[in-house]
Chains A and B, each alone.
Chain A
């Protein structure tokens, strides 16, 4: 593999770019939390004939996804 000579600041730039891409990834986790668990709640609502699980699901999912984004990207180093 051709390994070009890298300037010292190359690593820092690489790190910054990786962090940027992580920020775009976080969005899909947040959407998963709200929409995914919201839909799950809605489904349970239909099955159990209740009407509060969709809200619980989407709020709980939101909390979970925020925690998880912090866990994945915020807590290490």
Chain B
């Protein structure tokens, strides 16, 4: 802790935010505690369900109001922009519900990171991305095995045309990619982006506050700069949050498309 504790003036020390700050049990403690991200995940479900139900209650072919238009645009983006373009127009419809659910769920939970007074990205606790990734992981293997049979699926991991002497190592590479790297990168990418971004904002705002209130000489001015940077980074975070939700469903769609394809 000595590195993250910074003494400025008058014995006041600044305790930098640490990963431990993300552990926020509300009721109870230990493995079965009800934590803040759990409540937020439930809240996101309520919000998404309420918004989607409210905006699609009285549907009209030509969107009658802006809300219906906005929701349709979001749905159209996932349906056409992700699912149809990547899985292909023959089979994509089956997977649109999953992709749309993943996208809205991740998007809302990510946006929680900058929306006051929530300000906690649910996905900065790695359990949540892991759970979502497990769904995707099991799904794309099952699709592949159902489509090609278990043996055929493992055979299909190997593309044609690899030089013969490289076949064993390339097969190892493919196996490792399919069973370790893919789920690992999918979960860790989402988690790390949310975690690091929130940490950065925390440091800028908490550090800025400390400099402003406890700094001596010119340090309060640095605190103002820190606040401004925090604001800028918050907007940057907004971009990252949308992008990460998009990348998650994009990759899910490419994995599904890969399992559906005849030729690897």
Q: Which residues of A contact B (CB under 8 A)?
A: 1, 3-4, 13-14, 17-18, 20-22, 24-25, 27-29, 31-33, 35-37, 40, 61, 64-65, 68, 71-72
The answer to whether B173 touches A64 (Cβ under 8 A) is: yes
Given contacts A18-B86, A72-B159, contact A64 B170 (CB under 8 A): yes
The answer to whether A24 touches B181 (Cβ under 8 A) is: no
Shortest Cβ gap from B103 to chain A (Å): 14
Residues 161-178 of chain B, each 1 if its beta carbon lies under 8 Å from chain A, else 0: 110001001101100110
A25→B264 CA distance, assembly (Å):
14
- Kindly identify, within residues 145 to 187 of chain B, every residue whose CB is under 8 Å from any CB belonging to chain A: 159, 161-162, 166, 169-170, 172-173, 176-177, 180-182, 184-185
B250 on interface, CB distance cutoff 8 Å: yes
The count of residues in chain B whose C-beta lies closer than 8 Å to any C-beta of chain A is 27
B81 on interface, CB distance cutoff 8 Å: yes
Q: Which of A1, A17, A28 contacts B181 (CB 8 A)?
A: A28
Q: Which of B86, B162, B166 contacts A21 (CB 8 A)?
A: B86
Tell me the number of A-to-B contacts counted with CB atoms below 8 Å.
68
Name 22 A/B residue pairs within 8 A (Cβ), A-sorted: A3-B89, A14-B85, A17-B85, A17-B86, A18-B85, A21-B251, A21-B253, A24-B251, A24-B254, A28-B181, A31-B185, A32-B176, A32-B180, A32-B181, A35-B176, A35-B180, A40-B172, A64-B166, A64-B170, A65-B173, A68-B170, A68-B173
Shortest Cβ gap from A60 to chain B (Å): 8
Across-interface contacts of A29 in B (CB, < 8 A): 173, 177, 181
Q: Which of B86, B162, B184 contacts A71 (CB 8 A)?
A: B162
Shortest Cβ gap from A55 to chain B (Å): 17
Across-interface contacts of A61 in B (CB, < 8 A): 173
Given contacts A14-B85, A21-B253, A72-B159, contact A27 B185 (CB under 8 A): yes
Q: Which residues of B contact A (CB under 8 A)?
A: 80-81, 85-86, 89-90, 93, 159, 161-162, 166, 169-170, 172-173, 176-177, 180-182, 184-185, 247, 250-251, 253-254
Majority secondary structure, B binding face = helix
Most A C-beta atoms less than 10 A away, residue of B180, B247, B253: B180
The answer to whether A21 touches B181 (Cβ under 8 A) is: no
Across-interface contacts of B250 in A (CB, < 8 A): 20-21, 24
Across-interface contacts of A37 in B (CB, < 8 A): 169, 172-173
- Kindly report which residue of chain B lies nearest to residue A72, judged by CB atoms: B159
